[in-house]
Amino acid sequence: MSQAETQSKLYLPSDAVVASAHVSGMDAYHALCKEAETDYEGFWARQARELLSWKTPFTTVLDESNAPFFKWFEDGTLNASYNCLDRNIERGLGDKTAIIFEADGGEVTKVTYSELLAKTCQYANALKSLGVTKGDRVVIYISMSIDGVAAMQACARIGATHSVVFGGFSAQSLRDRIEDTGAVAVITADHQVRGGKPLALKGIVDEALGLGGCDAVKNVLVVKRTGSPINMVEGRDLWLADLAASQPTTCEPEWVGAEHPLFLLYTSGSTGKPKGVQHSTGGYLLHAALTTQWTFDLKADDVFWCTADIGWVTGHTYITYGPLALGGTEIVFEGVPTYPDAGRFWKMIQDHKVSIFYTAPTAIRSLIKAAEANDAVHPKSYDLSSLRLLGSVGEPINPAAWEWYYKNVGGSRCPIVDTFWQTETGGHMITPLPGATPMVPGSCTLPFPGIQAAIVDETGKDVPNGQGGILVVKRPWPSMIRTIWGDNERFVKSYYPADFQGKYYLAGDGAIRDAETGYFTITGRIDDVLNVSGHRMGTMEIESALVSCTELVAEAAVVGRPDETTGEAVCAFVVLKRPAPTGDEAKAIAKQLRDHVGKEIGPIAKPKDIRFGDNLPKTRSGKIMRRLLRSIAKGETITQDTSTLENPAILDQLGQAY
Ligand code: 6R9
């Protein structure tokens, strides 16, 4: 289907949806965009005053004097946890359910706003009792739980900067992050439970700390999840519940400046080690709340469910901060979508009467497969009538998956918000607003009001609609990345490159706008970053992990290839320190290498395909021909000119994937 044909298929929100939405109709959307265009600072200041509670009101809005190190609302003070908890209670929501937690095995625990505040305060006091104070970093390595959310909120309460590390990362990755942040404490659990299986968390923390370089860590606080035996180091490790039990359930919030770093979150770039994306308190929280209100249209009686893990930015913004800042009720789910069967999501929507559901295309695609093979796990076998709005995030959603989601999950009545954004942007950047924007499957449609997204060429010149180019944001916005922790230079180089005279934020994605509607479609990363099941990974990180298997590997190159379920798949081309293996031997070595990558980075980075060659295809000047590798990975017949290849014979070897 051509883009024009796709775009002719507009899905309109129903009159009822439009009538009740926070942003009601396209005129309202355009009016907000206009307001932002006419008075940019005034627009954001109004939102910041209306949505957040400030201890000291700000008098300055945007400070561009040290661009690209922008500052927002700098002289205002506030506390993120006060905004998410106390003020809801002050507004009479103390007995309202804040979190409905469903464990892997199906047990349900609920906490009200008052209970969540009490827990948060006890955790905050526990941290304080260990000497953790404002500006300290705390690494949180925990699975989805009320404790995880409370631990993040507790850090925010005392002005400590949290850095959550996804529970699927290896000891090595965890160590790297602990070292880079200089964390003074780690909060973890004994185990996590996924798909019926307990997996170590504390054991991995022990291993990470044992690898060295984490000398700043004084304490490890452990949440009891399974109660199975773990090692506790005398004087360093403490059970969080024991320490918290004797603490008061109130804790005066630490009022911090709007620019105070709320959190660091590591993400992959095209070069080097993962970067610690630093977010602010005021600007970040504003966009978390505003997008939850406008994009998700969150209302008092909604049950909101974002299926992301708190180890990713989506879990930060749309579990820990956005919905709580608005006093919403949300689901926190520990398990996986396919356990005990692939109907789990649909059953949970039915059981908890979920009204807003936000998930990733990769989950949808795998559930489509399962549903088509088995009626019992098809959405039609569940009562999903509570749903009123659906969302998608993490990667482009292909039109076929969009249509299936719309029809089978949303009953053809729920708008789908296909939200484009990044760890660095803090919240939604390009997305439909459910009661306004006509939807087109596969397009994230139009910029959020106040976001100056544009498509330019290599020199920074605007490209006309209908022509692809580089996605940039022309003006700073409140929830943008402030810097890369400890590396201002890398921040400037990565996001404000000289190519655009340092003026535009470079997203790292390619995009195209439809000639008629001006709608954006994201065409994928333009750097060496892969997106596998919505998880970002640098090809260089995986290459380094492979070559760190020094007894076996001489050289490695990693590229992505399209995959029906995971969006993209990791393909590794490996030269061993011995002749290229074939058959069973190749299979065995491939397994060994996968396990090695799993240990170095985490299971999510394990290559799906491994191809062995006695060499890699290189130009005569010695450059690896990555474009050729991508073609081989896709299984395409090679049409590229290979005459400049140093060693054309290896193309045959690389034809076989293990
Ligand atoms: C929130 C999140 C960011 C990268 C981004 C882009 C891709 C995210 C998308 C999308 C197309 C969407 N991406 N949402 N592509 N349509 N709706 O995912 O953050 O993990 O930092 O990934 O994901 O390539 O640059 P993060």
Please tell me the predicted confidence (pLDDT) of residue 8.
57
Sequence ranges of the domains in the chain? 533-654
Span 111-136, average pLDDT: 98
Which residue has a Cα nearest atom 15 of ligand 1? 395
Q: 15-34: per-residue pLDDT in tens?
A: 999 999 999 999 999 999 99
Span 521-535, average pLDDT: 90
The full DSSP string for 524-541 is EESSSEEEETTEEEEHHH
DSSP designation for 24? -
User: What is the pLDDT of the chain when averaged over all its residues?
Assistant: 95
Residue numbering of the annotated binding site: 194-197, 314, 394-396, 418-423, 509, 525, 533, 536, 547, 553
Cα(510)–Cα(611) distance, rounded to whole angstroms? 28
Distance from the alpha carbon of residue 245 to the mean position of ligand 1, in angstroms: 40
Tokens 């969540």, located at residue:
116
Span 127-140, average pLDDT: 98
What phi-psi label fits residue 567: left (phi over 0), alpha (psi between -120 and 50 degrees) or beta?
left
Quick one: which atom of ligand 1 is closest to the CA of 418? 17
Span 294-301, average pLDDT: 98
Q: 377-433: per-residue pLDDT in tens?
A: 999 999 999 999 999 999 989 899 999 999 999 999 999 999 999 999 999 999 999
Distance from the alpha carbon of residue 394 to the mean position of ligand 1, in angstroms: 4
Pairing, β 191-194 against β 197-200: antiparallel
Distance from the alpha carbon of residue 94 to the mean position of ligand 1, in angstroms: 35
More confident residue, 83 or 615: 83
Distance from the alpha carbon of residue 298 to the mean position of ligand 1, in angstroms: 22
Q: 58-99: per-residue pLDDT in tens?
A: 999 999 999 999 999 999 999 999 999 999 999 999 999 999
Cα(348)–Cα(490) distance, rounded to whole angstroms? 43
Q: 222-239: per-residue pLDDT in tens?
A: 999 999 999 999 999 999
For the cut 70, the answer to whether the pLDDT of residue 5 exceeds it is no
Distance from the alpha carbon of residue 557 to the mean position of ligand 1, in angstroms: 24
Which residues have any ligand 1 atom within 6 Å of their CB?
267, 312-314, 393-396, 418-423, 444, 507-509, 522, 525, 531, 534, 536
For the cut 80, the answer to whether the pLDDT of residue 504 exceeds it is yes
Residue 225 tokens read as: 């999840």
Handedness of CA 607, 611, 614, 619 (dihedral sign): negative
- Cis geometry, peptide bond prior to residue 340 (ω within 30 degrees of 0): yes
Please tell me the predicted confidence (pLDDT) of residue 64.
97
Please tell me the predicted confidence (pLDDT) of residue 658.
96
Percent of the chain exceeding pLDDT 90 equals 88
For the cut 90, the answer to whether the pLDDT of residue 187 exceeds it is yes
Tokens 């298997």, located at residue:
549
* Vertex 217 angle, CA 544 and 238, to 5°: 120
Tokens 């978390």, located at residue:
288
Where does the pLDDT of residue 2 fall: very low under 50, low under 70, confident under 90, or very high at 90 and above? very low
For the cut 50, the answer to whether the pLDDT of residue 165 exceeds it is yes
Closest residue by Cα to residue 76 from 48, 45, 54:
54
Distance from the alpha carbon of residue 536 to the mean position of ligand 1, in angstroms: 8
Q: 302-317: per-residue pLDDT in tens?
A: 999 999 999 999 999 9
Radius of gyration of the chain (CA): 24
For the cut 60, the answer to whether the pLDDT of residue 344 exceeds it is yes
For the cut 90, the answer to whether the pLDDT of residue 256 exceeds it is yes
Q: 345-374: per-residue pLDDT in tens?
A: 999 999 999 999 999 998 998 899 999 999
Which residue has a Cα nearest atom 18 of ligand 1? 394
* Amino acid (1-letter code) at residue 537: M
Cα(656)–Cα(646) distance, rounded to whole angstroms? 20
Which residue has a Cα nearest atom 10 of ligand 1? 395
Span 621-643, average pLDDT: 83
Cα(135)–Cα(81) distance, rounded to whole angstroms? 15
Pocket test for ligand 1, best of 265, 395, 446, 525 (most atoms within 8 A of CB): 395
* Amino acid (1-letter code) at residue 410: G
Quick one: which atom of ligand 1 is closest to the CA of 536? 20
CATH class of 533-654: alpha beta
Q: Which residues of 296-328 are buried (b: 16+ CB within 10 A; e: fewer)?
A: bbbbeebbbbbbbbbbbbbbbbbbbbbbbbbbb
Closest residue by Cα to residue 482 from 69, 136, 63:
69
Closest residue by Cα to residue 297 from 332, 335, 328, 342:
328
What is the biggest distance separating any 2 CA atoms in the chain, rounded to whole angstroms?
A: 74
Percent of the chain exceeding pLDDT 70 equals 98
Q: 540-591: per-residue pLDDT in tens?
A: 899 989 999 989 998 899 999 999 999 999 999 999 999 999 999 999 999 9
Which residue has a Cα nearest atom 12 of ligand 1? 420
